[in-house]
Amino acid sequence: MGLLQQGRWVDHWYDTSATGGAFKRQDSAFRGHVVAREHYQAADTNSYPAESGRYHLYVSLACPWAHRTLVFRVLKELESHIDITVVEPIMLENGWEFGVPLDDMQFLYELYLRADPTYEGRVTVPVLWDKQTQTIVSNESADIIRMLNKAFDELTGNTQDFYPEDLRTEIDEVNERIYNTVNNGVYKAGFATTQEAYEAAVYPLFDTLDWLEERLSQQAFLVGDYLTEADWRLFTTLVRFDAVYFGHFKTNIRRIQDYTNISAYLRQLYQVPGIADTVNFDHIKQHYYASHTMINPTQVVPVGPALDLFAPHGRGKLLVRGAK
């Protein structure tokens, strides 16, 4: 694990010394946007027109943030328009690696340097790459899934909308709590280097899970009757929870399996056509247990738990806005 400094790769674990043992996530640096052709304005250098075959996604199958983009690529039928590269599951002193050299590159940091030779900071997935201008459009998953949700509709004819205008305020509110306490909460617990920092993350995480359990006993999805972006952002953390976070990140007050409503909801999302194929437990388990050597120095990967995500979920119909 490392980062780019002055054009060079330096091997460094996260530094928690200045923050009382707490993990602080770096903000994403590339924040361009792909927009529908009709909204594209060449004068705006941060804007890129939706085109088939022009963009490429670099992802890790282990990473929950990258996983969001794979989910949206499937939901929005973008497989033939946006191709992908999957990095190796284990990330050690060179950061993310390409299994076979790709266009003369061995490591993902080389792609970041191609986009910007002065880039400094962490080298993360997902990356949305523009083949035409040879640069990174965005390395922020929250932005990328919004682009995939809308910008390519004209090309695909898929008008499903996971961020409908009238639900945005509520989606944003739910996202905010879930991001802080669950999506990033598991990392805050797992990467904490003091008891205090760990506990400061674990209790709020389980408060939110308890709140979600109650909410999902009353309604089909996080924001009412319709499946939205908020559900998919939660999904990629939930599906990793019992397999890695519970053990490796010590978020072990309860398992997702112990929550009746959350676990049925997780199975319902997992069983949406095409989604199970985006989940790769070998990459997930290998990545966490073998990459974070300061947490698990032996790099031994546990064989369990036995999970049956194809078991019946017993929940209602799946409604999506804008579906034809």
Ligand X SMILES: N[C@@H](CCC(=O)N[C@@H](CS)C(=O)NCC(=O)O)C(=O)O
Was 35 annotated as part of a binding site? no
Interaction mask 49-88, ligand X, x per CB under 6 A: --------------x-x-----------------------
Residue 126 makes contact with ligand X by CB under 6 A: yes
- As a whole number of angstroms, the distance between CA 171 and CA 221 comes to 11
Identify which of residues 155 and 201 has a Cβ nearer to ligand X in the complex. 201
Was 146 annotated as part of a binding site? no
Contact, 4 vs 113, CB < 8 A? yes
- As a whole number of angstroms, the distance between CA 42 and CA 103 comes to 28
- Interface residue with ligand X among 28, 208, 228, 278 (CB under 6 A) is 28
Nearest approach in angstroms of CB 299 to ligand X is: 17
- Interface residue with ligand X among 88, 110, 130, 140 (CB under 6 A) is 140
Residue 184 makes contact with ligand X by CB under 6 A: no
In 3D space, the residue among 117, 103, 136, 125 whose CA is nearest the CA of residue 291 turns out to be: 125
Residue 193 makes contact with ligand X by CB under 6 A: no
Give me the catalytic one of 58, 63, 226, 265: 63
Q: How many residues bind ligand X (CB under 6 A)?
A: 14
In 3D space, the residue among 57, 95, 91 whose CA is nearest the CA of residue 76 turns out to be: 57
Residue 187 appears among annotated catalytic residues = yes
Was 125 annotated as part of a binding site? yes
Q: 246 CB contacts (<8 Å, ≥6 apart)?
A: 252, 255
Nearest approach in angstroms of CB 137 to ligand X is: 12
Residue 226 appears among annotated catalytic residues = no
According to DSSP H, which parts of 101-184 are helical? 108-115, 141-150, 153-156, 168-178
Residue 239 makes contact with ligand X by CB under 6 A: no
Nearest approach in angstroms of CB 268 to ligand X is: 24
- As a whole number of angstroms, the distance between CA 64 and CA 208 comes to 18
According to DSSP H, which parts of 57-184 are helical? 64-75, 108-115, 141-150, 153-156, 168-178
Cα atoms found within 13 Å of the Cα of residue 59, Cβ hemisphere only: 25
Which residue type, as a one-letter code, is found at position 171? I
The annotated binding site is made up of 96, 122-125, 140-141
The annotated binding site for glutathione is made up of 96, 122-125, 140-141
The residues carrying an active-site annotation are 63, 187
Where on the chain is the footprint of ligand X (CB under 6 A)?
1, 28, 63, 65, 95, 122-126, 139-142
